[in-house]
A and B are shown apart, each in its own frame.
Chain A
């Protein structure tokens, strides 16, 4: 009888351990089995124009293959592998999927954006491509096609070879409605016209237009594992919610390293196939990346100061100057290093977007007045403490494509008042706001979804009042702010569009009339009197100019770089004259603070990077970490390290 409880105890233990087994088992038990192999095949067969199967004999013979081998290595040969990097997560990821609802968060950079291997990658200094999954590639500009040979070594994290089929599958999954991602569906259906298989390692992808950066559209692609997504179906969103995707990246995630709500730990794949590849071997150095959830920013900073977090972005002046000044004991003792790095990258368009479909704001004189009433210089001086620079045009940072001489209008009360007077606003009311003859006040709402920049808006508001312009502030949360501009309900809105590293600026999204009104112009070219504002587009200025449309169309069709540069300049000028965008500021680089055991290559980082850890060229030196922690205890000091790397600063 005494045995009974023991047996029950043992049984419970067994049961518990069964429950605690690999979560994958549970997941597959919960979902009905799916095998989509046949469905995928049928999909390809239905679309022979898009998915073409040929033999290696069909491969054109006269192709010139390139492999970017001449490009310098990335990272430092001194880099040591090993150690754990401690990073903060603002919020626990809502999913491990890299596509579909909730997947497009900052956590994805660790799953996909910064770690996965594309066919080839842009060299962060040279702008040319070095090989990733490809052994070599060939660009056929005439036929708008890129040919790729996959590296025979290339393997998925599950050990299988990466083949042409995985690239076919990439189109299948991204075009499929299962992933609940309309943008991807659209992009992968319209921006590519064909993929052709020559053999398991050789394929070609075609694009609709031969733009000067046509090659980037193809070379930047990353395949999707057909084997892993074998169960793709209607329940994709739930089924794949917590499955770590079979990846091309060096960092892997084991389910046991997933502490729901608390932390995520990635481990480095020591047998990663590309670990000795020329442009990859000195990158992805730390053995583990431990991401812990710290919601509050001030707590994050305290964790960094304690050494629980290795690096901290000091881009905000408040942190660079006050919270971690050069005189801070940890900085002065050399435990924490501070670095300013100037990069070269297209700049996010921080500025005031004026809705020209609103009454009064459709008047160019009013808009010009607003331009002169915006005291950005004071913002730069008082809020950014001279660290940032004024943005001159809406397309800064694109090299030759950026207008070389055009400057943004400066704050000038007299000029602003002259412009307002031309629009009929001549008299000041009892509170100092200009009024026109009919008693209408010169007053607009000035909204933004950026809480962190609310003081910028306050400064602009106070200064604008000096010119007789009233701005009624409206600080929204980011979702509400974005919704407001997407519905074109704003008067003046402060926002920026993020920009990726591209050769030339885009104009169609923001300035073409098809994104402004349903039918902007009548057939004879005159303005349609009944036109309706089009919502959910990026044309936040509701800008509709025939001349602009023509140039944009020409720009989009053009394959001639010089012509595009010329058009880009002319469009920028026209946009400047239209005065519907008040250029704000540009950040010339980034600043970080890091403990001295975090090491960077000589020269710190690369020209076209947006953040210090983007390329994973840093490493953790365990010996220095021990030394530093011991020194901190004993009070031993090191040489303070306050560095500025301005080799890529604008002249």
Chain B
């Protein structure tokens, strides 16, 4: 895979030259890395606890009861309180908290009651809290992570199905092509939103949250792969009639070999240009579904759910809608920038070898 041909290298160089897209790409890549290790940055568990000459790293470990640190309760330690206690005692013990010391599910009400509080550095709710006093930054952070992973998984799955079926249609042609085309025409006319509503009303509520997310993903993929097949089909048709394919066939290459070794690499440029836009539409779709209440199951942090809260509290808590909307705009803009740059650098008008 890394054995790139000169043409691809040229495209990549061209991509790097488009500064806006390139920096957006770096930013997004960086963001994905940061989000992957999010537990170290946004978490109610401490990074490090130094207690009686022993160091503890609670982030990825089992829960620690309060008694481990000389507290009088045996449920999970509240590390923020522990930090305050240690500070008061003035001993050698100390706690190092992550920059945002909240997790996305806990209701932390600094004022004693559950209500939105405005952004504040004192309480370390840097973007404020939502209607049930959960930290907005933490929810945005994990909401973005889920949305991004979700849309990338969505893209990969859609492409896997779309490419396979599209290529097969183009390559085998004939009846196979004809039947699948009709099938796709029918299939793509089933309204996908209704299907999600129907499927979610049927699946047992006892399913766990990850299972529900996978089901949502599956349903979305099942109704989204069709558009990809059109491009793949035409591209494959086009490539199939070229001399090099005929040559390969004469040598005796198998269908699989021809499709995967010869056709696929040559139609990849079409695919790559679509990828970022598929991610954009997946993020939009999942946010819209959450907004309507049919998306990720509660209490999963999500952008759409925050937007929904924000529109209901426009007057009293404008910071909710602002941060959710801001995040969405930035995220979508960046992915779109990448998409534009990819499209431009893969533009066959500039690099085509066929005249």
Report yes or no: B62 in contact with A322, Cβ–Cβ below 8 A. no
Q: Is A382 located at the chain interface by the 8 A CB criterion? A: yes
B contacts with A, residue count (CB < 8 A): 29
Complex CA distance for A465 and B315, rounded to whole angstroms: 35
Taken residue by residue from 310 to 323, chain B's Cβ proximity to chain A (1 for < 8 Å, 0 otherwise) reads as 01111110000000
A252 to B76, CA, bound (A): 62
State the CA gap A458–B131 with chains docked (Å).
Answer: 13
Can you offer 7 A-B residue contacts whose CB atoms are under 8 A?
A385-B113, A413-B73, A445-B206, A454-B299, A455-B114, A459-B107, A465-B76
Contact, CB under 8 Å: A413 / B115:
no
Chain B neighbourhood of A459, CB < 8 A = 107
B82 to chain A, nearest CB (A): 15
- Cβ-based interface call for B87 (8 A): no
Q: Is B191 an interface residue (CB 8 A)?
A: no
A323 touches B315 (CB 8 A): yes
Q: Is the interface of A mostly helix, strand, loop or mixed?
A: helix
* B250, CB-defined interface residue at 8 Å: no
List A residues 416-468 near B (Cβ within 8 Å). 428, 430-432, 445, 447, 454-455, 458-459, 462, 465-468
Contact code string B139-160 (vs A, CB < 8 Å = 1, else 0):
0000000000000000000000
Residues of A in contact, count (CB < 8 Å): 33
Residues of B within 8 A of A (CB): 62-63, 65, 73-76, 105-107, 109, 112-116, 131-132, 201, 205-206, 298-299, 311-316
**Within 8 Å of chain B (Cβ to Cβ): is A497?**
no
**A321 near B: Cβ within 8 Å?**
yes
The answer to whether B206 touches A431, judged by C-beta atoms less than 8 angstroms apart, is no
B205 touches A474 (CB 8 A): yes
Q: Which residue of A has the minimal Cβ distance to B75? A: A466
- Which residues of chain B have C-beta atoms less than 8 A from A297's C-beta? 312
Instruction: Choose from B65, B73, B106, B116 the contact partner of A462 (Cβ within 8 Å).
Output: B106
Task: Report whether over half of chain B's contact residues are helix, strand or loop; otherwise say mixed.
Answer: loop
Q: Mark A313-338, 1 if CB is under 8 A from B, else 0.
A: 00001100111000000000000000
CB of A526 closer than 8 Å to a CB of B: no
Known A432-B63, A480-B205: A321·B115 in contact at CB below 8 Å: yes
Contact of B316 among A322, A455, A475 (CB under 8 A): A322
Give the residue name and chain of the B residue nearest to A465 (CB): B75
Contacts of A462 in B (CB 8 A): 106-107
Q: Is A632 an interface residue (CB 8 A)?
A: no
Q: Complex Cα distance A474/B203, Å?
A: 13
Shortest Cβ gap from B183 to chain A (Å): 33
Chain A residue at minimum C-beta to C-beta distance from B311: A298
Asked if B75 and A382 sit within 8 Å, CB to CB, the answer is: no
A537 vs B235: C-alpha distance when bound (angstroms):
62
Whether the pair B113, A432 counts as a contact (CB closer than 8 A) is no
Known: A455-B107, A466-B76. 17 other contacts (CB 8 A): A298-B311, A298-B313, A317-B113, A318-B115, A322-B115, A322-B116, A323-B315, A323-B316, A382-B107, A383-B113, A430-B63, A432-B75, A455-B132, A462-B107, A466-B73, A467-B75, A468-B75
Question: Which residue among B75, B106, B298, B316 has the maximum number of chain A CB atoms within 10 Å of its CB?
Answer: B75
A180 sits at the interface (CB 8 A) = no
| B314 CB contacts on chain A under 8 angstroms | 298
